[in-house]
Amino acid sequence: MFFRILTAMACAAGIAGCTAYSGLAHNTDVVVLPNGTQAYRVQCLGLLESSKTCMNEVKRVCGDKPATRITSVDHMTSDLKGENDPREITFQCSTPVVEEPVKPVPVVVAPVAAPTPAPAPVRHAPIRKITLQGDATFAVGSATLTPIATTKLDDFVAANQGVDIDRLTIAGYTDSTGSAELNNRLSAARARSVQGYLATAGLRATKWDVEGYGSASPVAPNKTAIGRAKNRRVEIQVDGK
């Protein structure tokens, strides 16, 4: 009777409304909490009942939904000491939280850019013939090549790189100054000097035709300094590829 009185007081003080329905071993009320939400209160007050009876009723009411305990009243002994055996439980049935499946983050694969093709090497047309002419390509009376001469020969080698040369003709000439013997010897030395530089630079030919012709075959009159400078020359010519 004592617990019934307490229950009635709880309904009046803290719960806005109570609707009761009972079973053989319990009383179950539908109540409205002060915040306006609906809850349930189950009471198991018989001598042969226990908190297990209350919990079974909680499970029955909520079914598959999880139960959230709001308040509970422990079973009291004759000296008003709690036995940790709740005989009244106020609870709500919670809606189970359904977790949304984690959608996999699509992996965006950046398109692989096609490699930029390397530019084709610029191939220069083979130079068929060049002439080293005048005092700018050789010192006077010398077979030593000047920097101007080696620059022209480097360009000639670069233009004919990779070309299969059947025959490379190198012909040396002088002006008419000096003896024929000296001129022949100097023109041949200059032709060989050009051959040595080209071979060292990597130019390849099946046959090398290297000759010195002295003052023969002038290309200008030997009467003037300009004419004589033109006649002092080395002609390089490619035959076949």
pLDDT tier, 221 (very low <50, low <70, confident <90, very high otherwise): very high
Dihedral of alpha carbons 206, 212, 218, 223, sign: positive
Q: Report the chain's terminal Cα–Cα distance, integer Å.
A: 126
List phi, psi (to 5°) of 109. Answer: -95, 115
Question: What gap in Å lies between CA 109 and CA 94, rounded to an integer?
Answer: 44
At the second CATH level, the architecture of 2-93 is 2-Layer Sandwich (3.30)
Give residue 223's Cα distance to chain centre: 73
Q: Tell me, which fold does domain 129-239 have in CATH?
A: 60s Ribosomal Protein L30; Chain: A; (3.30.1330)
Question: What gap in Å lies between CA 121 and CA 87, rounded to an integer?
Answer: 96
Residue type, 97: V
Res 26: pLDDT: 73
CB 129 within 8 A of CB 238: yes
CB 144 within 8 A of CB 193: yes
Res 85: pLDDT: 72
The pLDDT tens digits of the residues spanning 45-94 come to: 666 667 788 888 888 888 888 888 888 777 655 555 556 677 788 988 88
Average pLDDT, the chain: 80
Domain extents for the chain? 2-93, 129-239
Kindly state the average pLDDT of the residues 160-177: 91
Res 16: pLDDT: 44
pTM score: 0.49
The pLDDT tens digits of the residues spanning 3-16 come to: 443 444 444 344 44
Largest Cα span, the chain = 155
3-state secondary structure of 84: strand
Kindly state the average pLDDT of the residues 230-235: 94
Position with higher pLDDT, 19 vs 198: 198
Please say if the pLDDT value at position 141 is more than 90.
no
- Partnered with residue 129 across adjacent β-strands are 237
Question: What gap in Å lies between CA 37 and CA 109, rounded to an integer?
Answer: 51
Helix axes 180-200, 147-159, angle to 10 degrees: 50
Kindly state the average pLDDT of the residues 210-225: 94
pLDDT tier, 117 (very low <50, low <70, confident <90, very high otherwise): confident
Query: Residue 150 belongs to what H/E stretch?
Result: helix 147-159
Please say if the pLDDT value at position 223 is more than 60.
yes
Kindly state the average pLDDT of the residues 146-169: 91
